[in-house]
Amino acid sequence: MSNGNWRSLAKQVERVETRLYVEESLQAGVTLGLDHARAHFLRSVLRLKRGARIAVFNGRDGEWAARLDALGKGWASLVVGDRRRAQEPGPDLWLVFVPIKRARLDFLVEKAVELGVSRLQPAMTRHTAVSRVNQERLAANAREAAEQCERLSVPEVGEARPLFDIMGDWPTERRLLVCSERGAAEPLSVVLQTAAGCAQAPWAILVGPEGGFARSELDGLLKLPFVTPVGLGPRILRADTAAIFALACWQAFLGDGATRPAMRET
């Protein structure tokens, strides 16, 4: 992209209000210092100036208006103004996924955050194609996606662990929908439609690796009392597509996908 294009992109971005996730507690009048990377982003990428209005949230205290109070090379501070949105609990939905190649993994994390997951848990299986997971990158992508989509919280990102270690200390009240393209699993929509009329437990979705689950893994999963196998239709989906399909379907039946968009000023 040429310099001119970057500048016009930065201008467009500027028109949309910048939202930042911060760790600190939020209340009117407090001053927050930003780390080097975020100060650089505001100053050199977004080209914000002293006095610019931004929004901040921390996953606990709702969303607050803030003003860029001072910024220099690699440092910036904000002053917090009024609270604009109270904290609301989001849907309690975990996604357990098997790491895939980088570009697709970035995509998967971004979409899963937009689709409202509360926790992202990477799992290693027999056919995992990727041996190392860059957890910091996953967490940074999750944070950016949460900032962009106006969530009030950033999902937790678990450390990558072998699938059956994760199953070993699974909270058994949390139902796990295992997406399985083989065997006679009920369609996900049928399972969720039935569940929609019942008392709600917390949920999780497991999507397998590009190479599929090994037979023994699938057998092991199906023995677990909290597991329900589900199908996503007749086609074999890539792992990222399968995750998006399953999350969107869950949100439509049991989550906040059936509520109206929040009223916002345009």
| Selected range binding ligand SAH among 41-49, 65-73, 87-95, 206-214, rule: CB under 6 A | 206-214
Cβ nearer to ligand SAH, comparing 69 with 210: 210
| Selected range binding ligand SAH among 70-78, 165-173, 177-185, 195-203, rule: CB under 6 A | 177-185
Q: Tell whether residue 239 is a contact of ligand SAH (CB under 6 A).
A: yes
Q: Which residue is nearest to ligand SAH (CB)?
A: 208
Q: Tell whether residue 202 is a contact of ligand SAH (CB under 6 A).
A: no
- In the complex, the smallest distance separating the C-beta of residue 239 from ligand SAH, rounded to whole angstroms, is 4
- How far is the first Cα of the chain from the last one, in angstroms, to the nearest whole number? 29
Cβ nearer to ligand SAH, comparing 157 with 207: 207
Q: Tell whether residue 212 is a contact of ligand SAH (CB under 6 A).
A: yes
Note whether 187 and 231 are within 8 A (CB). yes
Q: Which of 79, 237, 248, 252 binds ligand SAH (CB under 6 A)?
A: 237
Q: Tell whether residue 215 is a contact of ligand SAH (CB under 6 A).
A: no
Q: Which two tokens stand for residue 235?
A: 């086609």
Cβ nearer to ligand SAH, comparing 71 with 179: 179
- In the complex, the smallest distance separating the C-beta of residue 165 from ligand SAH, rounded to whole angstroms, is 19
CB atoms closer than 10 angstroms to residue 117: 28
Cβ nearer to ligand SAH, comparing 72 with 162: 162
Q: Tell whether residue 180 is a contact of ligand SAH (CB under 6 A).
A: yes
Cβ nearer to ligand SAH, comparing 40 with 175: 175
Q: Tell whether residue 179 is a contact of ligand SAH (CB under 6 A).
A: yes
Q: Tell whether residue 207 is a contact of ligand SAH (CB under 6 A).
A: yes
How many residues sit close enough to ligand SAH to count as binding (CB under 6 A)?
A: 17
Could you give the 3-state DSSP secondary structure of residue 253? helix
| Selected range binding ligand SAH among 48-56, 80-88, 164-172, 205-213, rule: CB under 6 A | 205-213
- In the complex, the smallest distance separating the C-beta of residue 103 from ligand SAH, rounded to whole angstroms, is 16
Return the HEC string of the chain. Answer: CCHHHHHHHHHHHHHCCCEEECCCCCCCCCEEEECHHHHHHHHHHCCCCCCCEEEEECCCCCEEEEEEEEEECCEEEEEEEEEEECCCCCCCEEEEECCCCHHHHHHHHHHHHHCCCCEEEEEECCCCCCCCCCHHHHHHHHHHHHHHCCCCCCCEECCCEEHHHHHHCCCCCCEEEEECCCCCCEEHHHHHHHHHCCCCCCEEEEECCCCCCCHHHHHHHHCCCCEEEEECCCCCCCHHHHHHHHHHHHHHHCCHHHCCCCCCCC
Chain positions contacting ligand SAH, by CB under 6 A: 179-181, 207-208, 210-213, 231-233, 235-237, 239, 242
